[in-house]
Amino acid sequence: MSLQTSAPSGEAWADELEPVPPIGGGDASDKPAAIARPSGSPARAIEARSTILTGPVLPTLLRLALPTMTVLIAQTAVNVAEAYYVGYLGTDALAGVALVFPVFMLMTMMSNGGLGSGVASAVARATGAGRKDDADALVLHAMVLAVIVGAIFTIGTHWGGPVLYRTLGGRAGALDAAVKYSNYLFAGAIPVWIVNFQAAALRGSGNVRVPAMVTLVGAMVLIPCSPLLIFGFGPVPKLGIAGAGIAFALYYVAAMLVLLRYMTTGRSGLTLKLVPLQGRLFKDILKVGLPTAISTTLTNLTVILVTGAVGLFGTHALAAYGIASRLDYVMIPILFGLCTAVLTMVGVNMGAGQVARARKIAWTSSFVGAGVAGTIGVIVAIFPMLWLHLFSHDPQVLGPGAVYLRIVAPSYAALGFGFVIAFAAQGAGHVLWPFVGAVSRLVLAAGGGWLAVSYFGGGMATIAAMVCASLVSYALICLIVMASASVWSTKKARL
C-alpha cells in the first residue's frame, strides 16, 4: 500500500514536501517530486529539503517517520482494545470477529492506502502546480467516490457476508456473531471512506495536524466507550458484540461531521464546495489509486483465504488464528509509518538525480524495518502468551495460537525487509517486483495452505509454515529491486 506522507506535524516538513508516488500504470507525470509550498519560514523550508537531500539518512528517516507511526499505532490500539473486550464474550465472539476482521482491514487499507493514495497524490500534484480550483474540486470528487465505494461495502457485506463467513468456516454461534458484528460495523462503511479520503486529501495539501488530532482523540474516546456499549452500564443496555460494531460506526460518523465542517470553512487549505463533476479529476485519482488498491486487495485476500483454511479445523482454531494473526496487522502501521518517510526520501533524491543516495536510503531503511519487525517477532515467538493472553485464556485457543506465533513471528523480519523495499521501489518509480512478491504471498500462504489442509491433512503448524514461507518469498522477490540496474539508474531519476 502507498500513502502520501507529510513530515512531523508543526514543522517545516509538513509545509514543504509532499511526495507524488510513482505508481505503476501512470505516465511520466507520476514521477516522484518534491512540491514546494509557501511557508511561514522559507529558510526552514529550504533547510527541510536540503536535509532530505544531504542530511544523515537515519536521523532524517526517523524524524519523518515517527509522527505517522504514532497516529497509525493509535488506530491499531483501537483494534487491539476491541479484540480484548470481545474476548470476554467467549470463543464464539472471538471467532466471529476473526471472520470479519480481514474484510474490515481490506476496507481500511483500501481507503487509507489504496484509493486514498490516489486522492492524496491528485491533491498534492494540483496543489504543487498551483491549481487551487482543481485541488478544491478533488475533495468533492473524493467524497463522491467515498459514498459509492462505501455503499458497495455496506450492501455487499449485508447480502454476501453470511455466505462469505460460512464459506470461511463460520458455524453456529461463531457465524451468528460474525453476521451481527459485520452488519453493525459495515453500516458505517460510508463514513469510514469519507473520513479516510478527507484525511488523505489533507495530507496531500500538506496538512497533517488535523487528521492526526481526529485520529488520536477518536482513539482516546473509543477505547473506553467501546466496553460501555459491549457490556452496558447504568441506562446503557448490554449490546454484546453488536456494541463493538456500533462503537466503530459512531466514531466514524462523529469524525466525518467534524472534518466536513472543518473543510467547508477553507481553514484547512482545501475548501469542500459544490462544483460540476469532471471525468478528468476522477481519472486523476484512480490512475494512482487503483494499482495500489489491487496490491492491497491481494494482501487481504491472502489473510481471508488462510482464515478459510483454518476454519476447517473448527471454531477454537479459528479464534486462535484470529488473535494470533492480528499481530501480523500490528506490524503494518509500524512499518507503514517508516515506509511513508522512505517513499518521500527516495522519491525526492531520485527526482534530484541523487541515485546513489536514494539507493543508500532504501538499504538503510529496509534493515531498520527488518530489525524493528524482527525484534517484535522474536520476542513474541519466545513468549507467545504475552500476546495471546490479551484476548483469551481458553487452552483450546491458546494451543494453536502459540503454534502459529512460534513459527510465523520470527519471519516478521522478512515482512519488514520486503515491505520497506516495496515502498522504496515506488519512490524509484518501480512496482513490478513488489507486485510479484504480493502474488507469491497469495499463492504460497493461501494456495499452499488450502492444499496442505484439504489434501494432505496438514494442521495449524503446516499452515503457519506456509505463511512463513510466503513472507520469506516476498522479501526475496522484493530484494530483486535492490539489484536492478534499471530501477536505480540516472535515466530513471530523470523521468
Output the 3-class SS for 368-401. Answer: HHHHHHHHHHHHHHHCCHHHHCCCCCCHHHHHHH
Q: How far apart are CA 198 and CA 138, in angstroms?
A: 10
Report the pLDDT value the prediction gives residue 415, as an integer from 0 to 100.
Answer: 92
DSSP of 33-97, one letter per residue? -BPP---S-HHHHHHHHHHHHHS-HHHHHHHHHHHHHHHHHHHHHHHHHHHHHHHTT-HHHHHHH
Whether the predicted pLDDT of 411 surpasses 90: yes
Cβ atoms of 59 and 354 closer than 8 Å: no
The average pLDDT across 51-80 equals 73
**Nearest Cα residue to 288 out of 64, 6, 4, 495:** 4
Report the pLDDT value the prediction gives residue 48, as an integer from 0 to 100.
Answer: 52
Distance of CA 84 to the CA centre of its chain: 21
Of the spans 39-53, 121-135, 324-338, which averages the highest pLDDT? Answer: 324-338
- Residues ≥6 apart with Cβ < 8 Å to 21: 2, 4, 30, 32, 117, 121, 288, 292, 343, 347, 426, 427
How many CB atoms within 10 Å of residue 224?
Answer: 9
Cβ atoms of 368 and 337 closer than 8 Å: no
**Nearest Cα residue to 458 out of 470, 449, 467:** 449
The average pLDDT across 446-450 equals 82
pLDDT digits (tens, 9 = 90+) for 239-291: 887 887 888 888 888 888 888 888 887 776 777 888 888 888 888 788 767 77
Report the pLDDT value the prediction gives residue 306, as an integer from 0 to 100.
Answer: 82
Specify the range with the lowest mean pLDDT, choosing from 63-67, 147-151, 413-417, 463-467. 63-67
Angle (deg, nearest 10), helices 132-167 and 172-186: 170
Provide the pLDDT confidence category of residue 381 given band limits of 50, 70 and 90. Answer: very high
How far, CA to CA in Å, does 250 sit from each of 63, 113, 338? 33, 22, 30
The average pLDDT across 122-128 equals 68
Instruction: Enumerate the domain spans of the chain.
Output: 12-494
Whether the predicted pLDDT of 138 surpasses 90: no
Report the pLDDT value the prediction gives residue 477, as an integer from 0 to 100.
Answer: 93
Cβ atoms of 134 and 100 closer than 8 Å: no
Report the pLDDT value the prediction gives residue 312, as an integer from 0 to 100.
Answer: 74
DSSP state of 466: H
C-alpha cell at 321: 488464528
Percentage of the residues of the chain whose pLDDT score is greater than 70: 81
Cβ atoms of 488 and 355 closer than 8 Å: yes
Residue 469 burial class via C-beta count within 10 angstroms: exposed 0-12, middle 13-18, buried 19 and up: middle
How far, CA to CA in Å, does 450 sit from each of 96, 140, 319, 457? 21, 43, 18, 10
Q: The pTM is what?
A: 0.67
Report the pLDDT value the prediction gives residue 427, as an integer from 0 to 100.
Answer: 66
Cβ atoms of 126 and 138 closer than 8 Å: yes
The average pLDDT across 376-400 equals 89
3-state secondary structure of 495: coil
Report the pLDDT value the prediction gives residue 406, as an integer from 0 to 100.
Answer: 94
Mean pLDDT of all residues belonging to the chain? 77
Report the pLDDT value the prediction gives residue 67, as an integer from 0 to 100.
Answer: 65
pLDDT digits (tens, 9 = 90+) for 172-194: 888 888 888 888 889 889 998 99
Residue-level length of the chain: 495
